[in-house]
Structure 1
Amino acid sequence: MKPRRSPLFAGIGHRPLRTLVIGLMIASQSAAQTSRTIPPSPAGVIEFTEAELKRILRHSPLPDPPADPTNRWADHPGAVELGRLLFFEPRLSATGDTSCATCHDPAKSFTDGRALSQGAGPGLRNTMSLWNVAYNRWYFWDGRSDTLWSQALQPIERDIELNGSRTRLARLLFTDEGLRRAYESVFGDPPDVSDPARFPEEARPAAAGVEDAGHRAWSGMSESDREQVNQVFVNAGKAIAAFERRLLSRRAPFDVFVEGLREGDPVKASALSESAQRGLKFFMGEGNCFFCHAGPNFTDNEFHNIRVPPLDPARPPDSGRFHGAEQVLRDPFNALGPYSDERSGAAADKIEFLANSPENWGRVKTPSLRNVATTAPYMHQGQFADLDAVLRYYSTLEGAVTFGHHDRENIIRPLNLTPEQMADLRAFLESLTDTELPPDLLDGAAREPPGRE
């Protein structure tokens, strides 16, 4: 007789083997840090099974961010400072009033609080938070970027975001004294882009088949001038990435609780209420939430279709990972491209061996759950206003869309949560909150670059 499957994962047999393997690898990355002998639980801790305890211990602590060999400036203090200035710089936008921080507002947990983003135009998806982006394998909901620095470049020129251009950015770095000094402290002198005949005010390449003034201006530039601008553009993206790598959330009440479990410390174990502990038990046990929200960053970093109803049924369906995979393969700034600082190894292998299939249609990336209580609304189109709405959906799957012929992954069934279970899960999710950052990362105030008088 076959063992009974959990309701949540009744369709797990249809899940691609590669996704399962990756999820399990991520979930086990911190297992080496876990004692093979689980210590007795301190006073005040509810009863967990041995399997649940092992999973809990694998979800904390969150280690230091992995190195990014494609960006040799990823941990350079001067690059962090330049990236901070650029992150808060509205002059990168066509209107001069929109910056990265407009949609990724530190006061709103690096989101904008909207269902759909709003930049130079209305967005098509919810703004993802930047907490712990240094741990990601893919970027954007559809994974159309494979490195943090290449992700940072796209919003600058996208017409519904900053709607700027790489020549605008290069000119700003050349002409603004503070930005220029910050750039020089890391990358050396920026190129002289003051001649408008060679470097048009707004020039940028466009997607295949798109013809606009920016693209015509870009096409009219010499190859050597385009290369100079591209290098400045890439350097800016790598600096922004260096800044964003500092946006870390690693010591939430949950992490203190796990320390208490390891150390047998009842004071630390009291960091989680009994309700939050019950929610944790359900998350690591009956609910099987840990399959997708795996490892210390609570994500498998892969893509799934959980059948969430669209925000606006009249809009065309979101293709998700299917077109995202196509885009990342074509991106000249991917890890295999000429601007990557290492075109071999794991980062390059991700691209070289990336295979797309129709089953990716509609799948979106599993977000981290760290600081999830501070980043409403939720899902890729902001369909759910709060955590209660998310939990109600998982409980009932009310409004879930019917799978098309593309997708055979069917990983969820209604959880049929009781009111107490919903409250417990919400309490646990709230225990993943740690929004403390050094104050000098939270604004765009001018400061001296590191190492300069």
Structure 2
Amino acid sequence: MDAGHQAMNRGRRHRIVIGSLLDPRLVIAVTMLAMVSCDRTNPSGVDAGGVAVSLDADVRRRALAASPLPEPPPSPTNRWAEDSGAADFGRRMFFESRLSGDGSVSCATCHQPERRFTDGLRLSKGLGAAKRHAPTLVDAAHHRWFNWDGRSDSMWAHAVRPIENPLEMGGDRTAATRMILGDPDLRSGYESIFGPIDLDFEELPERARPHGGAAESEAWKSMPVGDRERVDSVVANLGKAMAAYQRTLRSEPSRFDAWAADVSSGGDGAAHLNDAELRGMSLFFGRAECWECHSGAFFSDGEFHNIGIPAPGGLPRDSGRYEGSLLVREDPFNAAGRHSDAPDGVQAVLSAGVKHDSEAWGAFRTPSLRGVGDTAPYMHDGSMPDLESVVRFYSTLEGAIQLDHHQESVLKPLMLEPSEVEDLVAFLESLSGSYAGREDGKP
């Protein structure tokens, strides 16, 4: 499939592999971020005279292959994914705090436009304190799985989850449907896209949802089956509209992209990246082999890995993909469900093949590095405050959790020099540029 699989076949000593988290007939196993100590006779790529940084052929080839970022892949389970009207409606709902249980929280609470659609907090805070850091939504349409643990197989299915999560928005699908029905402007906007809502506002309970509190669950069970199905359809469409909006949140070319475009057209790229950034690039696509997991133009392989992030007591309490693999298969809004617009498509097959086993414990989705300089703090738990902390962790592996015998683990530190840490951070910061949606939500 990719360079990561080829690296595994070459038998390198310096990676973590947790095994395939999908049925091996459906996807190829991927490898973890490579860590290796090598010959340091000229680690920076600068010659003895301190002149221009020279990139070797493999580094140059890999770097040029990582730009430009293409259009997001299609979303066949959402027929409104590219509908501008749906995106406009989804934008309104993204900033709508009435979707929350007490009217104080919207999607934008944790995904703030001015912060590259993150919140800058170690652990996000909605109605309660979450256990994970909010990832950016910019370019998120390139992901195959959503949330750190991949509990959703589409952007629209994942957009529904926070509404009912008691730690996030604490609302419910019936209250959301009543909100749309009871607001003439919202109802008109919804029905102009998805058609009439065949439900009576007065006959719906104020709050009702499956798997909620006792009162909500009982109210849901008491509703006619047809009404429950129509409420589910409304909230699925709400998710599809918000996904259409989120697909518009795209990064603009970074200085790295400008360098790649210049070099591809015959230039030397000198106007776009300085020597420190080029030395960092040489490390990233060369000796450090960061590219094995942060691969392609999205700088992510889209898969799940346990990288041994330090945890209190030395034991990871967040099961990551282990729980996510179960949730995605059980999700009534998944790609194979009745609300999917491609229930027999490729994503439905992939989701059905997800394995739920101990190999996935503590594994989290590889984040994209595009815009990474704007999205501190880092890691799924927000435990690393800046990029230097991240690079130093991979350099020393101080406090790293040892993986168990189910997970092939030969983890070796990079042992970077202080100047190399600085160079790698400099390159990572060159991956940030402007992005669409920065001004959204402002009056």
Matched, 1:217 2:222: no
Please tell me the residue identity of whatever aligns with 1:368.
S
Q: Could you list the runs of 5+ residues in structure 2 that have no partner in the other structure?
A: 1-6, 32-50
Residues 314 and 257 of structure 1, relative CA distance in 2, 3 Å threshold: closer
Q: Deviations over 1:140-196 (max 9, x none)?
A: 11111010000000000011000001111111111223322221221122334311x
Paired residues of 1:299 and 1:368 also in contact (CA < 8 A): yes
2:410, 2:191 → 1: CA distance? 51
1:300, 1:261 → 2: CA distance? 25
Residues 13 and 247 of structure 1, relative CA distance in 2, 3 Å threshold: closer
* Residue from 259, 262, 277 that aligns with 2:261: 259
1:145, 1:300 → 2: CA distance? 17
Q: Deviations over 1:290-309 (max 9, x none)?
A: 00000000000000011001
- 1:375-386 equivalences in 2 (<5 Å): 375-386=375-386
**Structure 2 counterpart SS, 1:164:** coil
1:135, 1:261 → 2: CA distance? 25
Paired residues of 2:146 and 2:155 also in contact (CA < 8 A): yes
Residues 95 and 45 of structure 1, relative CA distance in 2, 3 Å threshold: farther
Q: Deviations over 1:202-238 (max 9, x none)?
A: 11111xxx65221111111110111111110000000
Give the corresponding residue for 2:205: 200
Give TM-score, length-normalised by structure 2: 0.88
Give the corresponding residue for 2:306: 305
Give the corresponding residue for 1:38: none
- C-alpha RMSD of matched pairs (Å): 2.3
Residues 265 and 287 of structure 1, relative CA distance in 2, 3 Å threshold: same
1:250 CA drift (Å): 4.1
Please tell me the residue identity of whatever aligns with 1:307.
G
Residues 437 and 283 of structure 1, relative CA distance in 2, 3 Å threshold: same
- 1:282-361 equivalences in 2 (<5 Å): 282-310=283-311, 312-313=312-313, 317-361=317-361
Please tell me the residue identity of whatever aligns with 1:48.
L
1:168, 1:191 → 2: CA distance? 16
1:221, 1:215 → 2: CA distance? 10
* Residue from 96, 103, 114 that aligns with 1:89: 96
Corresponding pairs, count:
412
Give the corresponding residue for 2:407: 408
Give the corresponding residue for 2:47: none
1:429, 1:20 → 2: CA distance? 29
Q: Deviations over 1:275-294 (max 9, x none)?
A: 11110110000001000000
2:291, 2:234 → 1: CA distance? 41
1:10 CA drift (Å): 2.3
Give TM-score, length-normalised by structure 1: 0.86
* Residue from 134, 137, 148 that aligns with 1:141: 148
1:353, 1:437 → 2: CA distance? 35
2:412, 2:69 → 1: CA distance? 30
Paired residues of 1:9 and 1:288 also in contact (CA < 8 A): no
Paired residues of 1:149 and 1:241 also in contact (CA < 8 A): yes
2:207, 2:314 → 1: CA distance? 35
- 1:154-173 equivalences in 2 (<5 Å): 154-173=161-180
Please tell me the residue identity of whatever aligns with 1:434.
G
1:375 CA drift (Å): 0.6
Q: Deviations over 1:366-399 (max 9, x none)?
A: 0000111111111011110111111111110111
Paired residues of 2:18 and 2:306 also in contact (CA < 8 A): no
Give the corresponding residue for 1:397: 397
Give the corresponding residue for 1:271: 272
Residues 339 and 269 of structure 1, relative CA distance in 2, 3 Å threshold: farther
1:119, 1:177 → 2: CA distance? 28
Q: Could you list the runs of 5+ residues in structure 1 that have no partner in the other structure?
A: 25-43, 446-453
Give the corresponding residue for 1:30: none
**Structure 2 counterpart SS, 1:178:** helix
1:14 CA drift (Å): 5.0
2:440, 2:52 → 1: CA distance? 37
Please tell me the residue identity of whatever aligns with 1:75.
E
1:275, 1:69 → 2: CA distance? 42
2:102, 2:370 → 1: CA distance? 34
1:411, 1:372 → 2: CA distance? 27
Please tell me the residue identity of whatever aligns with 1:201.
E
Paired residues of 2:18 and 2:305 also in contact (CA < 8 A): no
1:436 CA drift (Å): 2.8
* Residue from 124, 147, 151 that aligns with 2:158: 151
Give the corresponding residue for 1:39: none
